[in-house]
């Protein structure tokens, strides 16, 4: 009698708890099959687009030593030809490890369910970055004409969560790339979405990168801007815009002060010409040096 191997539950709840698979033919998916790697192809609709090479090498080394412990999930697309539903990272690592065949569950599923299953598998493992999740949500909505509420029911996520991810796609491309590359956090991105125009979003994004603002500090800055109490930092790009009506001398003064104090001085100005000068310092020693500069000025 063939021994059946129980499938591991996905995310502790099982796939059935997340999407409706009652209509799927799952014959053969309760036992493990050895499938040649040459007969397996990735899913072109895979929501995950970035695979960390260092992480793949580590997994490949583990597979060389211990074998592939957790089977991947496939569907048969042609006789003796399979497409990955979930487990592409394990598939790639197995290739690197030099395996010729790997254990897999075979499942019959529609294109729609394949993408849902791949998305859910990655979300449960927290393998997708925020932009990849947002794009996957948008693809499901566009492809299958779903409302956010319907998508919420299909994948077991709150509608508000889906809406928050989709809003990220309204950010300028440069900021989306920064979020995808983990240069900023989801919290930074959500704060930037509270700003009205793309140019202001990009300006604050650049300051986050330059000064290393925390999410909390970014939220404070955005609130100040929206309340009208924040003075916008003057940059060469800002000065070049006629609508600001700011003298070009401000930019020259900023460079002069930065050189004089030996640190990057921030010169801020609003549209009415009112502004302030900020002199940052990294530690007590640098503060003491700046104070000595002021003392020198006093003596003159």
As annotated, the active-site residues are 88
- Of 202, 276, 282, whose CA–CA distance to 233 is shortest? 276
Calculate the alpha carbon distances from 171 to 114, 127, 192, 263 in Å: 29, 22, 8, 32
Report residue 205 as tokens: 């994004």
Distance CA 99, CA 102 (A): 7
- Candidates 190, 198, 210; CA nearest to 173 is 198
Closest CA to 68 of 48, 40, 97: 97
Torsion, Cα 113 115 120 122, to 10 degrees, reads 150
223 to 175, 204, 236, 270, 271: CA distances (angstroms): 19, 12, 24, 16, 18
């Amino acid at each position: 009698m063939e021994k059946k191997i129980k499938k591991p539950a996905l995310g502790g709840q099982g796939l059935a708890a997340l999407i409706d698979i009652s209509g799927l033919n799952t014959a053969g998916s309760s036992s493990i099959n050895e499938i040649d790697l040459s007969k397996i192809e990735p899913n072109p609709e895979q929501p995950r687009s970035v695979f960390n090479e260092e992480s793949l090498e580590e997994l490949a080394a583990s597979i060389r030593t211990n074998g592939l412990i957790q089977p991947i999930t496939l569907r048969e697309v042609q006789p003796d030809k399979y497409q990955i539903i979930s487990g592409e990272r394990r598939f790639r690592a197995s290739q690197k490890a030099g395996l010729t065949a790997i254990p897999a569950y075979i499942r019959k599923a529609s294109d729609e369910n394949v993408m849902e299953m791949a998305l859910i598998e990655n979300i449960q493992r927290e393998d997708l970055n925020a932009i990849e999740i947002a794009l996957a949500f948008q693809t499901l909505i566009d492809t299958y004409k779903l409302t956010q509420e319907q998508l919420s029911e299909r994948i077991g996520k709150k509608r508000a969560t889906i809406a928050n991810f989709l809003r990220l796609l309204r950010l300028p491309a440069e900021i989306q790339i920064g979020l995808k590359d983990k240069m900023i956090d989801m919290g930074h991105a959500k704060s930037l979405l509270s700003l009205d125009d793309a140019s202001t979003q990009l300006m604050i994004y650049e300051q986050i990168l330059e000064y290393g603002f925390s999410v909390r500090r970014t939220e404070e800055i955005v609130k100040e801007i929206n309340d009208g109490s924040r003075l916008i930092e003057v940059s060469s790009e800002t000065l070049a815009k006629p609508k600001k009506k700011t003298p070009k001398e401000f930019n020259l003064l900023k460079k002069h002060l930065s050189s004089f104090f030996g640190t990057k001085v921030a010169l801020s100005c609003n549209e009415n010409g009112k502004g302030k000068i900020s002199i940052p310092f990294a530690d007590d020693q640098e503060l003491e040096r700046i104070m000595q500069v002021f003392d020198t000025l006093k003596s003159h």
